[in-house]
Amino acid sequence: MSIRTIEWTGDSLLLLDQRALPGKESVLRCSNASGVAGAIRTMVVRGAPAIGVAAAFGLVLAVPCTRGGKRPWREAFAAAAEELGGTRPTAVNLFWAIERMRGAASTLPDDPEEARRGLENEAVAIYEEDIAANRAMGAHGARLLPDGASVLTHCNAGALATAGYGTALGVIRAAYAAGKRIHVYVDETRPFLQGARLTAWELMKDRIPCTLVTDNMAAKLLGDGKIQAAIVGADRIAGNGDVANKIGTYGVAVLCRVHKVPFYVAAPCSTIDPGVRTGKGIPIEERDADEVTHLAGKRIAPDGVRVYNPAFDVTPARYVTAIVTEKGVLLPPLSRAIRDLFR
Ligand code: MRU
């Protein structure tokens, strides 16, 4: 894989610093759980599955690899789980991964060396399963994209947002690898510019044809009949199929409906939260005003202006044509498809 978003060395976690892309490919080394929590909070690593995988390794780092520590490893693990869980509220993969690591921890012995090995095995499994899930989504989803299609995507749901390959971009990658002539229109994704900075960079690295547009150009593209499908990732999918994803996704979905263009969501089962009945129950992160008032560090709005900066919106299930998961393509009625999936 040409993009290494997350790399585990055995005693530290290496994260490709996504804040510096596309200008610089620099790597941040985290050698403790607080370092990983800080990296998630400050968007060094972002994207729902990537956040979950990073947190899992953060929990490995919480446990000392030698005996004779000052406090039992379970205490350090519990404190780290708490800290990591407080970093970003919307992407459910974070909580899913922490729960999975808690489950593994509950079966491990009191000896820290053995416990750390057990936790490491679990985190590596989460990492590898994420890549496998993305590959499977690619295989299921590629069929949905017609040869010659122009496909609109929003935010970054690629290798950078996962352990590798990507969810929405994984589907695009798989269709392209199968020989389909696909052209990707990339929404720049204000205010954090994941589309312009990350998705355009990823697609160009893989030589997949793409065109960058600002978010407010999507309506014109769809109105002009230039888009045959839209595909995005997700941060959390409620039991009824409502989809929380990067702010601006809802607008894309509504435009697709108006213009009779299919709107697809690609996400692993770890992004589905059947415990939340509808999108109304999904907590939406609000981020710093600076992201809106500044562009590349330069102020673009008057000092002191009031700002609203929700990082995600919720697309009602009725606008979703299908959800591509590693277990297959879910079709409406999505509440029933999700119920069957988790049965
Ligand atoms: O704030 P971010 O960059 O973490 O938001 C990311 C997104 O909204 C992605 O579309 C989503 O996590 C899916 S990633 C496969």
Q: What is the pLDDT of residue 2?
A: 80
Q: What is the pLDDT of residue 1?
A: 66
d(CA 32, CA 188): 33
Q: Where are the domains positioned within the chain? A: 6-135, 140-342
Which protein residues touch ligand 1 with a CB less than 6 Å away? 46-49, 91, 155, 157, 161-162, 167, 194, 233-235, 245-246, 311
DSSP string over 302-329: -TT-----BSEEEE-GGG-SEEEETTEE
Which residue's alpha carbon is nearest to atom 6 within ligand 1?
47
Q: What is the pLDDT of residue 140?
A: 98
Q: Please name which of 50, 61, 49, 44 lies closest in space to residue 9, comparing C-alpha atoms.
A: 61
Class in CATH terms, 6-135:
mainly alpha
Q: What is the pLDDT of residue 64?
A: 86
Max Cα–Cα distance, the chain, nearest Å = 68
Class in CATH terms, 140-342:
alpha beta
Provide the 8-state DSSP code for 215.
G
Q: What is the identity of the amino acid at 122?
A: E
d(CA 189, CA 194): 6
Q: Are 77 and 63 in contact (CB under 8 A)?
A: yes
Residue segments in the chain with a per-residue pLDDT below the cut of 50: none
Q: Give the predicted TM-score (pTM) of the model.
A: 0.97
d(CA 40, CA 178): 34
Judging by beta carbons within 10 Å of its beta carbon (0-12, 13-18, 19+), is residue 340 exposed, middle or buried? Answer: exposed
The DSSP bridge partners found for residue 173 are none
In the reported structure, the alpha carbon of residue 106 is separated from the centroid of ligand 1 by a whole-number distance in angstroms of 30
Q: What is the pLDDT of residue 70?
A: 76
Task: Report, as residue numbers or ranges, the catalytic residues.
Answer: 235
Question: Which residue carries 């780290």 as its tokens?
Answer: 80
